[in-house]
Structure 1
Amino acid sequence: MKIALVEDNGDQAALVYKIVQSTSHACECFSNGLSLIRALRDQSFDLFILDKNLPDLSGDELVVWIRRTVGLNVPVMFLTSCLSEDSLVGALNAGADDYVSKPIRSAELAARIVALLRRAYPSDRADDPVMQLGPYSLDSITKTARLRGVDVGLAPKEFEVALYLFGNLGRLVPRDVIEKAVWGRVIGPDSRTLDTHVSRVRTKMLIKPEHGFRLVNVYSHGFRLTQLSAEEGQMRDGH
């Protein structure tokens, strides 16, 4: 998995980078919040590790931006030297899932990274050829997508697009990332191929609030499929 680290202290960044590598995950380092925001235009990450005190944006501001733009399901961890109750409660209220205090203890950080990723991305789903989410099921062996047990008739590439979106539920997935995963290359901004396939997936699978899901095109970024609560689905459906 790919982890984004935002840390303006070079020594601290090098230490965390080494710890992340020890967990067998890739790590990309950023020295400030704006550089991460720019990178998210064409990259996606499975975990964000943020220093709470950054030179441009505060850690709280950055995690709020991540939650609004990237989604609610991608885990976020804070690194902080401030252990006051108000500071930690503020971090968690802003949207962080966990925090590690400085000075960093390598074994503790490694264990928390592994635990956070395990909770966010359960391994048992990866071993099951059938992905079941709400009324939808996607069978990676037969390449079939069903809504309440009925085959919706996706073409092969449409199924691959749907499988990638459902497999990244709640995450903002850049356009070129989907293109590479499905077509093996970046198609380019002038092509409507991806938009056409996403539109067909939305139409054939009837992805809408009354079925508990919402698929949105985030301008200049990519696509995000989110699962709604029962209450949200009823509200958006006008019930």
Structure 2
Amino acid sequence: MRIGILEDEATQIAIYELLFSPTQYQCEFFGTISAFIDALRDKRFDLLVIDWMLPDGTAGEVLEWIRKNFDWHIPVICVTSRNSESDVVNVLHMGADDYFVKSSRYFELLARIESLARRSREKPSSILHFGPYKIDPENQEIIVDGKNAGLTQKEFALACYLFQNTDKLLSRIHLLEKIWGLAAEIDTRTVDTHISRIRNKLHFSSQSDWDILTIYGYDYRLQHAKVAETIK
């Protein structure tokens, strides 16, 4: 299980490292909101732990961005020194799945993380098969001929969407809105970059059974390469 932790205090990071070292959780730390969001755009995390006060903003801003761009499927725990009822309610209303008030009881935080992880694993998921490709939604992996293709979170989401819409014309703008969110302030060339990476990692080509075609220079279509001709 991969955990992304947004925390800027060295002492707090040292506590987390001690707390998680005996576990099988893989933790990656970020000291600023900007670095954290950059990582979320390109990496896959199963759970997020966010400190409330940060050098470049608050957890509320991060939660708003996460829920706009990732919907509600990523569990988020907000860590705060505030413990009034109104503060807790606000944190939950902003989109956190749970909260932890800073104290010496850090095993409680570990227990909360394990609880969220267990609930997440219990969600039903179906393995999807497309020829040699096995899509595992729970682990966000695509297996090709028995090997993990090593897709990032966004690449996985984009590849799944393409498979689920085989033979449909999908514009860059449409894909940008569906995968990165309506509020995503990024260039449409980001879609081109991710399409290129997916083609390489999943071995799509005109010589294989599957390929992503570029249509009229701005649309994409996933289909069997043997029955299609790229239109430029």
TM over 0.5: yes
2:67 maps to which residue?
A: 67
Partner of 1:233: none
CA distance in 2, matches of 1:37, 1:29: 12
Task: Supply the distance in 2 between the matched residues of 1:106 and 1:48 (Cα, whole angstroms).
Answer: 16
Q: CA deviation at 1:216?
A: 3.0
Q: Which has the larger radius of gyration?
A: 2
Q: Where does residue 131 of structure 2 map in the other structure?
A: 155
Runs (4+) off by over 6 Å = 179-183, 194-197
**Secondary structure at 2:96's aligned position in 1?**
coil
What is the aligned partner in structure 1 of residue 178 from structure 2? 216
2:142/2:149 contact within 8 Å kept: no
**1:31 and 2:31 matched:** yes
* Residues 21, 27 of structure 1: 8 Å contact kept: no
Using the TM superposition, give the Cα deviation of residue 106 of structure 1 relative to its aligned residue in structure 2, in angstroms: 2.4
TM-score normalised to structure 1 length: 0.61
Normalising by the residue count of structure 2, what TM-score does the alignment of the two structures yield?
0.62
Q: Share of identical aligned residues, percent? A: 31
Partner of 2:208: none
1:18, CA displacement in angstroms? 2.3
Question: Higher relative contact order by CA 8 Å / sep ≥ 6: 1 or 2?
Answer: 1
Distance 1:42 1:82 in 2: 32
Once residues 2 and 98 of structure 2 are traced to their aligned partners in structure 1, the CA distance between those partners, rounded to angstroms, is 18
Give the Cα separation in 2 of the matches to 1:91 and 1:47: 16
Q: For 1:196 and 1:76, locate their aligned partners in 2 and report how far apart those are by CA, in whole Å.
A: 25
Counterparts of 1:75 and 1:119 in 2: how far apart (Å)?
Answer: 10
Deviation string, structure 1 residues 44-103 (Cα, Å, up to 9, x no partner):
111110111111121111111111112201100011111122211110000001111112
Is the 1:75–1:97 contact (alpha carbons within 8 Å) kept by the matching residues of 2? yes
For 1:93-108, list aligned pairs within 5 A.
93-108=93-108
Q: Secondary structure at the match of 2:14?
A: helix
For 2:118 and 2:64, locate their aligned partners in 1 and report how far apart those are by CA, in whole Å. Answer: 23
What is the CA distance between 1:104 and its match in structure 2?
A: 3.9
- Residue ranges of structure 2 left out of the alignment (5+ in a row): 152-156, 168-176, 181-187, 196-232
Structure 1 unaligned blocks of 5 or more: 126-130, 133-137, 145-153, 187-193, 205-214, 224-239
C-alpha contact (below 8 Å) 1:17/1:29 kept by paired residues: no
Aligned to 2:165: 202
What's the RMSD between the two structures over aligned residues?
Answer: 3.4
